[in-house]
Amino acid sequence: MSGLVEGRTAIVTGAGQGIGLAIATLLSEQGARVALVDLDADRVKQAAADLGGPALGLACDVTDEAAVDRVVRETVEEFGGLDIHVNNAGITRDASLRKMPVEDFDAVINVHLRGTWLGVRAASAVMRDAGSGSIVNISSLSGKSGNPGQTNYSAAKAGIVGLTKAAAKEVAHKNVRVNAVQPGLIRTAMTEAMPPEIFAEREAAIPMKRAGEPREVAGAVLFLASDLSSYMTGGVLEVGGGRLM
């Protein structure tokens, strides 16, 4: 039986570890050729080498317009096209409003919002010409409800939803789809750095009473990347165990 994205080409940003690596791995298992993109060149090249299927490891700062354009160009040159683009790269710089430096606000907005916008723009340019494609942007339930100490992150993740819907309207007539996924509390290096009592408190508030795994987010991305979601665009899928429903 062939995979859900057999023979297609995908780019996944922030793919060196965590949710991004899980997404790249599942897309590869389902038959895609994958360009893994990350700021950490050594980590992403190793991740691509470990993947097994056809894969590229590319270093890129997603806030750099020329670098994002280069990644898309190199992927198309290597694999012959671009069918799936996942904007997942992200950082956190948490602090209260009173204590957050402007640099930390700007850094988070730039990586998440500018980075996603640059990715959508570069990928959709290729996909429009091809007459098909699926772009998936990783938002967060923090963008739905807001988290204290995360005015920068929550604003960026809410902005990704607006960007997704606006871009979806612009490219739908070219058969290019743009959707978003909003993960809740997922077990990654980023969340496991939280104080254990805060993590436990957050987990207890989830109706399913557990944190999610990166592969569970990857499953939603695979659905949006594949033909199973062929009549969905501008949608936002929550992957949070019922949190904030």
The first and second tokens of residue 46, run together, are 């190793």
The first and second tokens of residue 183, run together, are 């993960």
| 167-189 per-position pLDDT tens digit | 999 999 999 999 999 999 999 98
Paired strand residues for 182: 238
Mean pLDDT of 206-219: 98
What confidence tier does 194 reach under pLDDT thresholds 50, 70, 90?
Answer: confident
Choosing from 25, 38, 153, 167, which is the catalytic residue?
A: 153
Between CA 62 and CA 85 the distance in angstroms is: 13
Nearest to 178 by CA among 187, 188, 197, 165: 165
Q: Where are the alpha helices (DSSP H) in 54-195?
A: 65-79, 102-109, 115-130, 142-145, 151-171, 189-192
pTM, two decimal places: 0.97
| 152-165 per-position pLDDT tens digit | 999 999 999 999 99
Topology at the third CATH level for domain 9-237: Rossmann fold (3.40.50)
User: Is the separation of the CB atoms in 179 and 238 below 8 Å?
Assistant: no
Q: Which residue has the higher pLDDT, 10 or 189?
A: 10
User: Is the separation of the CB atoms in 10 and 35 below 8 Å?
Assistant: yes
The confidence score (pLDDT) of residue 36 equals 98
Mean pLDDT of 210-228: 98
Per-residue pLDDT at 63 exceeds 90: yes
- CA-CA-CA-CA dihedral for 24, 28, 30, 32, to nearest 10: 100
Q: How far is CA 21 from the centre of its chain?
A: 10
Sign of the alpha-carbon dihedral angle for 56, 57, 63, 66: negative
The confidence score (pLDDT) of residue 67 equals 98
What confidence tier does 29 reach under pLDDT thresholds 50, 70, 90?
Answer: very high
The confidence score (pLDDT) of residue 193 equals 83
Please provide the average confidence, as pLDDT, over all residues in the chain: 97
The confidence score (pLDDT) of residue 52 equals 85
- CA-CA-CA-CA dihedral for 206, 210, 214, 219, to nearest 10: -70
Active site residue 231: no
What confidence tier does 213 reach under pLDDT thresholds 50, 70, 90?
Answer: very high
73 Cβ contact partners less than 8 Å away, ≥ 6 residues apart? none
Per-residue pLDDT at 1 exceeds 70: no
User: Is the separation of the CB atoms in 152 and 96 below 8 Å?
Assistant: no
Domain boundaries, the chain: 9-237
